[in-house]
Structure formats: structure tokens, C-alpha cells
Amino acid sequence: MSPPSLLRRLAAIVYDTLLLVSVLFVATALMLPFNAGQAISPLYRGYYWLYLLTISFLFYGWFWTHGGQTLGLRAWKMRVATSEGQRISWRQALVRFGVAILSWSCFGLGFLWSLFDAQKRCWHDRLSHTTLFYQPPQKED
């Protein structure tokens, strides 16, 4: 197994973003009855964003800790694991998620880091002690 290219990583992120947006739509719909079907008031907007952030973490954390693949990672033949190839812990998933947000908030610098890293790791790979592996399809003889 080898590290994936940045382009492959970004393609998986696009897939996962489409799925996550639909999950967040459902999560928002579940909140509407508690707000009389109205939009989230400014008083509770901070809690709403925290709720969506929690849902997002649970989405990624579940997939990463249970098989290491989101839909996007599966489609692009990648898997998140420890350096030894084991499943990651929820703590590692939390660090990975948080640092990935930081990576994006720095104009993607944490992802661009993989272009210069000898092992093609991003900030969130390094700080969470996880690795993204590319699993090319097996050729049949």
C-alpha cells in the first residue's frame, strides 16, 4: 500500500462533502420541530453550528474507526489506519478531524503539505498518528 496523491485525496473529499451535506440537511430537519419549524434564531445559532460540527465529526469518526473508509475513500480506493495498518481510535479520529479543519482554515496549507512531506502526509495525518493508504485494485492473472 502506498500514500495517495493530493488529487486523489481531494477527489475523495468532494465525494464525502456531497454525502455530508445530505446528512447535515437531515440533521437540520430533525431540529426544526424543536424550533417550531422556524429557522434557527440568532440566540441559538452558536449551538446550531456546534451541533452540525458534532454531527460532522460523528460522520467521519464512525467511518474512520469502523473500517477506515468513508464513501469517498472507498470510491477512490483509500483507507485511514494507523502506521501499522490498524483501525484508528476515536481519540485519533477527533485529532484528525480537528486538525483537518485547521488545515482547511489555513487556505488548505495542511493538505498542500503532503506535496513536500516525504511520506505524503498532511498535517492531520501527522498530528493524529494516522496514515491514508492507497489500495490499488488487484490485477487478476
What is the predicted pLDDT for the residue at 130? Answer: 97
The residue ranges of every structural domain in the chain are 6-134
What is the predicted pLDDT for the residue at 141? Answer: 61
Angle subtended at Cα 10 by Cα 6 and Cα 13, rounded to the nearest 5 degrees: 140
What is the predicted pLDDT for the residue at 15? Answer: 97
What is the predicted pLDDT for the residue at 137? Answer: 81
What is the predicted pLDDT for the residue at 36? Answer: 75
From residue 72, alpha-carbon distances to 1, 9, 11, 15 in Å are 18, 9, 8, 5
From residue 29, alpha-carbon distances to 36, 45, 101 in Å are 11, 15, 24
* Per-10-residue mean pLDDT, the chain, length 141: 92 97 94 80 88 98 97 96 94 98 95 95 96 86 61
